[in-house]
Amino acid sequence: MKRALITGVTGQDGSFLAELLLEKGYDVHGTIRRSSVDFRERIAHLEGHPHFHLHYADLGDSMSIMQVVSKVRPDEIYNLAAQSHVQVSFDSPEFTADVDATGVLRILEAVRLCGLAGSCRIYQASTSELYGKVEEVPQNERTPFHPYSPYAVAKLYGFWIVKEYREAYGMYCCSGILFNHESERRGETFVTRKITLAAARIAQGKQEKLYLGNLSSLRDWGYAKDYVECMWLILQQPEPDDYVIATGEQHSVREFCLLAFRRAGIELEFVGEGENEKGIDKATGRVVVEVSPDFYRPTDVVNLWGDPTKAKKELGWDPTKKTSFEELVNLMVDADMAKVAVERAGEQVKLNLEEYLEKGIVK
Ligand code: NAP
Ligand code: F7E
């Protein structure tokens, strides 16, 4: 039985990857961090599985990394742990550098010091943000990098140190340069999930308006569950290498909004420009989307579009046979419509109970 270690198992990708590896018969070990509130909802359904194990470790703490690597002695490590929010990286640049850059080095050194350099394969979660202020469109493995945020600069170090250890020590370590991938498990402050949750809340009368930043920003958005398959495929190749993983399609934030609100039952029309642009509910004339400069970034990446030709040819991974853009938007909105409906039902039960208690119907 192969042993895999996933750092960042509580995240969107970590949870999907853990499911995939368990299905493939792996013994799966994941790292978690201590927190004052226990927030592990993405992996709650896996806890108790006989081949799913959790260990405390922090990418900022070499000793904890050494400890978990020496204890698990994994055949494969998937390094997904990161401060992954680009906007937050402007507010916490040093923490982001420590975790997203030096953290990668800590993993590589732990593997070497534990004598696993010849046996343990390592996947590093690299990112399309490396292309940043893009130098060509679409972007492939040969496109020059131009990182454009503290997050991207930290991830650039991660990318290069992985390449360095591959060349210097012959280690099997690879980067997946993944373009944006989303899901019903996406963090609520990333733009796609922020939109699907707001569309569901507005449609069910629980929110008035959605405030967004740059509506014209372009992304190549795929489905996270499809993308974790590539992480595994990348580590199964005869030779270690780096791969772009993308759909090969590009859409704007505005387009994402239009589809999401439509799925929630609201037909939108955008009018105006720049900070004055508004999304109007065509049926009622009500403004439901507005622009707020609070969500503008000091430097923003606005033109990401991946070319997945190499992954298609060498990994046999074909994005045209995977979840389409519209299917992705729909599945995210459907999940949030259900989540909001459950929340509303819960609130109603609470109101009823309060009323019954007040009237003495229940004691
Ligand atoms: P995510 O949902 O934000 O998950 C990040 C994970 O990292 C969480 O489990 C988090 O733990 C953990 N983590 C954060 N800081 C840590 C630290 N100091 N030590 C240990 N663990 C730490 O991110 P994701 O979307 O799944 O992305 C996974 C990886 O792929 C990240 O490295 C991200 O940068 C990269 N990436 C993502 C995308 C994308 O579109 N999703 C694209 C390209 C690359 P807590 O739950 O305790 O916070
Ligand atoms: O922003 C614009 C924003 O935060 C996408 C991470 O997983 O993917 C993710 O990073 C775009 C940007 O993702 C809002 O300015 C407009 O241009 O959803 P996002 P991201 O920055 O692309 C990459 C590949 C990663 O590696 C990262 O880990 O949308 N945008 N209005 C907004 N973005 C947010 N968050 N909120 C807004 O209100």
Q: Which amino acid is at 319?
A: P
What's the confidence (pLDDT) of residue 154? 99
What's the confidence (pLDDT) of residue 38? 81
| Ligand number with the minimum distance to the CA of 244 | 1
Across the range 145-165, mean pLDDT stands at 98
Ligand 1 lined by 200 (C-beta under 6 Å): no
Q: Which amino acid is at 346?
A: G
Residue 196: name the closest of 294, 41, 340 by CA: 340
Look over the chain and give the mean of its residue pLDDT values, rounded to a whole number. Answer: 97
3-state secondary structure at position 137: coil
What's the confidence (pLDDT) of residue 215? 98
Across the range 355-359, mean pLDDT stands at 91
Q: Kindly report the backbone phi and psi dihedral angles of residue 97, in degrees, each rounded to the nearest multiple of 5, phi listed first.
A: -65, -40
Across the range 231-236, mean pLDDT stands at 98
112 class by beta-carbon count within 10 Å (0-12 exposed, 13-18 middle, 19+ buried): middle
Can you read off the two tokens belonging to residue 266?
A: 């609201």
pTM: 0.98
How many other CB atoms sit within 10 Å of the CB of residue 314? Answer: 14
Look at ligand 1, atom 1, and give the residue with the nearest C-alpha.
11
Pairing of strands 181-182, 222-223: parallel
| Ligand number with the minimum distance to the CA of 194 | 2
Look at ligand 1, atom 44, and give the residue with the nearest C-alpha.
127
Q: Are 81 and 103 in contact (CB under 8 A)?
A: yes
Mutate to test the pocket of ligand 2, among 83, 86, 89 (most ligand atoms within 8 A of CB): 86
Ligand 1 lined by 319 (C-beta under 6 Å): no
Q: Range with the lowest mean pLDDT among 80-84, 155-159, 290-294, 348-352?
A: 348-352
Q: How far is 356 from 363, CA to CA, in rounded Å? A: 8
pLDDT band at 363 (very low <50, low <70, confident <90, very high): confident
pLDDT band at 13 (very low <50, low <70, confident <90, very high): very high
Ligand 2 lined by 180 (C-beta under 6 Å): yes
* pLDDT score of 8 more than 90: yes
pLDDT tens digit sequence for 182-225 = 999 999 999 999 999 999 999 999 999 999 999 999 999 999 99
What's the confidence (pLDDT) of residue 139? 98
Look at ligand 1, atom 4, and give the residue with the nearest C-alpha.
11
Mutate to test the pocket of ligand 2, among 180, 193, 227, 302 (most ligand atoms within 8 A of CB): 180
CA torsion 220-223-228-233 (nearest 10°) is -70
What's the confidence (pLDDT) of residue 39? 81
Q: Kindly report the backbone phi and psi dihedral angles of residue 178, in degrees, each rounded to the nearest multiple of 5, phi listed first.
A: -90, 130
213 Cα nearest atom in ligand 2: 31
Alpha helices in the chain (DSSP H): 12-23, 62-72, 86-91, 93-97, 103-113, 150-169, 191-203, 224-234, 253-263, 309-310, 325-358
Q: How far is 133 from 233, CA to CA, in rounded Å? A: 29
Q: Which residues are catalytic?
A: 127, 129, 151
Residue found under tokens 């960042």: 8
84 Cα nearest atom in ligand 2: 28
* pLDDT score of 315 more than 90: yes
Mutate to test the pocket of ligand 2, among 151, 153, 190 (most ligand atoms within 8 A of CB): 190
CA of 16 to the centre of ligand 1 (A): 12
CA torsion 80-83-87-90 (nearest 10°) is -130
pLDDT band at 329 (very low <50, low <70, confident <90, very high): very high
| Ligand number with the minimum distance to the CA of 191 | 2
Ligand 2 lined by 89 (C-beta under 6 Å): no
Q: Which residues contact 194 (CB under 8 A, 6 or more apart)?
A: 188, 210, 212
Ligand 1 lined by 68 (C-beta under 6 Å): no
What's the confidence (pLDDT) of residue 362? 83
Give one DSSP letter per residue of 170-239, joined into a string. Answer: ---EEEEEEPPEE-TTS-TTSHHHHHHHHHHHHHTTS-S-EEES-TT-EE--EEHHHHHHHHHHHTTSSS
3-state secondary structure at position 142: coil
Q: Which residues contact 198 (CB under 8 A, 6 or more apart)?
A: 207, 210
CA torsion 109-112-116-118 (nearest 10°) is 120
Look at ligand 1, atom 41, and give the residue with the nearest C-alpha.
181
3-state secondary structure at position 273: coil
Mutate to test the pocket of ligand 1, among 84, 96, 99, 301 (most ligand atoms within 8 A of CB): 84
Ligand 1 lined by 279 (C-beta under 6 Å): no
3-state secondary structure at position 3: strand
CA of 13 to the centre of ligand 1 (A): 8
